[in-house]
Amino acid sequence: MSAVPGLKEDCEELLGAFQQADTVRFERFAELWRERRFHTIFYGRMRALERNKITKKTLDVAQQYFFPPYSFQIRVGALYLLYGLYNAQLCQPKQKIRIALKHWPEIQKFQLDLLDAQHYDAVYIFRRLRLARAFHFTAMPKLLTYRTKKKIEKNYFKEEFKDPSNRVNSLITNDVLEELMNIHDHYQKMKCVISADKSQPDKALSLIKDDFVVNLKDITLEHQEWQQNRMKLLRNAKVVPETEDKKKEETLLKSEGSERANALARIKYKSYSAVVEVSRSRRHRQVQLESSESGPSCGKSPGRSKKASRTPQPARRSEMQVTEETVTRHIGMPVIIEEDSEE
Amino acid sequence: MAAVVPDYELAELYTRAFRVGALGLGWQRLLGPPDLSLAAEAEKEEEEDAAVAAALGCAPGTAAELRAVCSIDMLMSCEKEEDPDVIPEDSSLLTLRIRKKTLERREETIIVDRACRQETLTYEMESHATGKRPDNPTDLIEEGELLLILNIFYPVIFQKHKDHKPYQTVLVLGSQKLTELRDSISCVSDLQIGGEFSSQPDQAPEHISKDLYKSAFFYFEGIFYNDKRYPECRDLSRTIIEWSESHDRGYENLQSVKMEDYSFNDLSLKIGFPYLYCHQGNCEHIIIITDIRLIHHDDCLDRNLYPLLVKKHWLCTRKCFVCKMYTARWVTNRDSLAPEDPCFFCDVCFRMLHYDAEGNKLGEFLAYPYVDPGIFN
């Protein structure tokens, strides 16, 4: 099926604006929708047959943004978009939104996340759609007609809408951490049992770092926050071509100080004129992954002091050194001090 | 039957095979009565705030607020009556700007912009049965019924069709037997009348091929479903099975069963994968299941109307060579009176040319009754 020209751009523009608004409130979405008078998207003189076809394609385009790998906010935006499009359509009887069986568990999970976070407006809207029986419950998302297309349109995902690929988090999940904690405790207990002093394990048996599970958790948390900040900065900033001077950068850490640092960084961005947006094909090249040199010239680099005195709880980085964040357009990887240097 | 979740075997093209009935179970397990209900659309009744509050686990005050904030009026135009046919002048939407240009161009080039008869037919077929409910409540389709959408391709091979082979689209219910689909497929080869009738044009027999050759089979996922309802029906698939078993040709066990024993819910199918329907011994149609979904209250809910034809290809009929007006009903070969071989005639012109007033045959020719593929238009 050929696409409706301009539709994808309009949807992405609206969802992009919603993402910028940094909220999931329906009120905000409705404002943006009304600004653009999005309900007119079905206007135009056309006969019933063509109207049916165009409406189906429109709902199909909007529906794609409702599922992973798009980020949470985009998915909520897509839900609102579907609500709006379903009700604004001019077909009688209304064209339905297709949901495949394999997507339903994702939707259920999405619902639960929304409820947990008390985003009642999103839950309410999904409920309204469901009660209005706006869905067709299908086997597969698209009609499969064995059409071998001459040009396979690659289903491209708009980068900014995607959730940052969180491989670290998907590997080290909460379950894994909990399991590790349990095993660790068990291990400690076993060591105590076979030691002379029942209250603590023998020195000879100390073969691993005692607080490594906690450290692991902290490292993953830090990575996640770093990634989120990176995404935010990427979104807020206009990108400059790489040929410009690269400044030395440090990791951006989330703490009280970093709020101010964020603001500083934003001001610095705005002060650069003549910005050029890198084309999509080069987008993957615009972020320089430079490892910041850890040395005295770099100033204080974020360290992770693995002293035994550290309290094993998700420490807010107060004890960590917060470096001055002169974040520029290029964002580097956080530095992890080699463990061998300590203990 | 265990529930199953269909997924692609070859991305974007077709799925793995799965039991159709299991899909229905899979969905029914996940949905509640309001999702599955086929009751007619009720008037806009607002949900009670208390019900909303209970479902969401929020305060009733919040529920009332939600009703106000999330109302669809927030997204609709609050201005006076807007004409949906008119695209607003300064729209910020790219879709509308492009559409406007296209419409303007169309207005310039097309003198009369009106639905042609093909479009009217297509639209009518698509929508004529929507929402129909039967008079007899026993004919009402049950909740949770599965609807399969099949594309059945025509066996006609014209050069102009080499890129897009024409097809019909049929809706069929999961609980219907395969024989019901077989009976509903109208193919021109069923109507052929065999035999040469130049000497007795008035005695073209009543029997059409459909009555004479009743055998047929469907082929889905390695199993041949043969029509065995009548004693004349033969197992057409036997040849194929014997062929595949004669040497190691790389085909798995091909089985042959009776079509009338199976309903669509019993089958294992892949969506998007071409299968076969064969009748008349050598008339083969490709069948592709394009979609399977749960029945919806806006669909046609009268069981008697299924299998339901919703789309068919318009084939131009061949007209009589003489009058160029009526559809051809006769075709002649080796006709000394005709300018070309074969030559097509409508009934009236055929008799006028080839027979005299007493009905005697004039000239030498062979005449066969002709059924045009476009007869189903």
Statement to judge: residues B279 and B206 lie in one domain: yes
Using CB atoms, pick whichever of A27, A38, A128 lies closest to residue B93. A38
Please tell me the predicted confidence (pLDDT) of residue A62: 93
Using CB atoms, pick whichever of A41, A94, A140 lies closest to residue B96. A41
pLDDT-derived band at A324, boundaries 50, 70, 90: very low
Interface subset of A 258-317, CB within 8 angstroms of B: none
Distance from CA of B200 to the nearest CA of A (A): 47
- Whose tokens are 């604004």? That residue is A88
Chain A residue with the nearest C-alpha to that of B298 = A93
Statement to judge: residues B220 and B334 lie in one domain: no
Average pLDDT over residues B163-184: 90
Please tell me the predicted confidence (pLDDT) of residue A199: 74
Using CB atoms, pick whichever of A48, A102, A148 lies closest to residue B5. A102
Select from B268, B291, B312 the last residue of a domain: B312
Please tell me the predicted confidence (pLDDT) of residue A335: 56
Q: Determine contact: B273 vs chain A, CB below 8 A.
A: yes
- A15-25 pLDDT, tens digit per residue, is 999 999 988 89
Please tell me the predicted confidence (pLDDT) of residue A78: 94
Please tell me the predicted confidence (pLDDT) of residue B37: 87
Please tell me the predicted confidence (pLDDT) of residue A172: 74
Number of domains in chain B: 3
Answer whether residue B290 is part of any domain: yes
Answer whether residue B44 is part of any domain: no
Statement to judge: residues B242 and B340 lie in one domain: no
Q: Determine contact: B282 vs chain A, CB below 8 A.
A: no
Which residues in B lie closer than 8 A to residue A18 (C-beta atoms)?
none
Interface subset of B 298-327, CB within 8 angstroms of A: 298
Answer whether residue B363 is part of any domain: yes
Q: Determine contact: A39 vs chain B, CB below 8 A.
A: yes
- B23-34 pLDDT, tens digit per residue, is 999 999 899 888
Please tell me the predicted confidence (pLDDT) of residue A54: 93
Q: Determine contact: A144 vs chain B, CB below 8 A.
A: yes
- B340-360 pLDDT, tens digit per residue, is 888 999 989 988 888 888 878
Cross-chain Cβ contact B130/A93 below 8 Å: yes
**Structural domain boundaries enclosing B289:** 122-312
Alpha carbon of A326 to those of A235, A246, A264, A276: distances in Å?
17, 12, 8, 21
Residue spans of the domains in chain A: they are 7-162, 167-238
Average pLDDT over residues B162-184: 89
Average pLDDT over residues B13-26: 90
pLDDT-derived band at B305, boundaries 50, 70, 90: very high
pLDDT-derived band at A146, boundaries 50, 70, 90: confident
Task: Give the highest mean pLDDT range of B108-112, B117-121, B259-263.
Answer: B259-263
Residue of B70, B133, B275 to mutate, interface with A, max A Cβ within 10 Å:
B70
- Chain pair A-B, CB pairs under 8 angstroms: 191
Statement to judge: residues B200 and B132 lie in one domain: yes
**DSSP character for A333?**
B
Statement to judge: residues B104 and B238 lie in one domain: no
CA distance B295 to B303: 12
pLDDT-derived band at A260, boundaries 50, 70, 90: low
Tell me the residue ranges of DSSP E strands in A17-166: 97-100, 135-138
pLDDT-derived band at A280, boundaries 50, 70, 90: low
Interface subset of B 125-184, CB within 8 angstroms of A: 126-127, 130-131, 149, 151
Statement to judge: residues B283 and B370 lie in one domain: no
CA distance B64 to B61: 5
What is the CATH classification number for the domain harbouring B284? 3.10.290
Q: Is A337 helix (H, G, I), strand (E, B) or coil?
A: coil
Statement to judge: residues B302 and B164 lie in one domain: yes
Q: Determine contact: A200 vs chain B, CB below 8 A.
A: no
Using CB atoms, pick whichever of B26, B122, B293 lies closest to residue A49. B122
Select from B271, B290, B312 the last residue of a domain: B312
Residue B266 has pLDDT above 90, yes or no: yes
pLDDT-derived band at B170, boundaries 50, 70, 90: very high
Please tell me the predicted confidence (pLDDT) of residue A323: 39
Which residues in A lie closer than 8 A to residue B85 (C-beta atoms)?
43-45
Statement to judge: residues B305 and B224 lie in one domain: yes
Please tell me the predicted confidence (pLDDT) of residue A338: 54
Using CB atoms, pick whichever of B75, B77, B131 lies closest to residue A30. B75
Answer whether residue B234 is part of any domain: yes
Distance from CA of A141 to the nearest CA of B (A): 9
Statement to judge: residues B95 and B217 lie in one domain: no
Which of A38-47, A111-120, A146-155, B179-188 bottoms out in mean pLDDT, i.e. has the lowest? Answer: A146-155
CA distance A35 to A10: 13
Structure tokens at B227: 């029509």
pLDDT-derived band at A253, boundaries 50, 70, 90: very low
- B205-219 pLDDT, tens digit per residue, is 666 777 778 889 999
Instruction: Compare B129 and A287 and report the one with higher pLDDT.
Output: B129
pLDDT-derived band at B201, boundaries 50, 70, 90: confident
Residue A59 has pLDDT above 90, yes or no: yes
Q: Is the ipTM of this complex over 0.90?
A: no
Contacts of B371 (CB under 8 A, 6+ apart): B188, B191, B192, B193
CA distance A14 to A25: 14
Please tell me the predicted confidence (pLDDT) of residue A76: 93
Output the average pLDDT for chain B: 86
Return the amino acid letter for A191: K
Tell me the angle at which helices B117-127 and A48-64 cross, rounded to the nearest 10 degrees. Answer: 60
Please tell me the predicted confidence (pLDDT) of residue A318: 37
Statement to judge: residues B105 and B168 lie in one domain: no
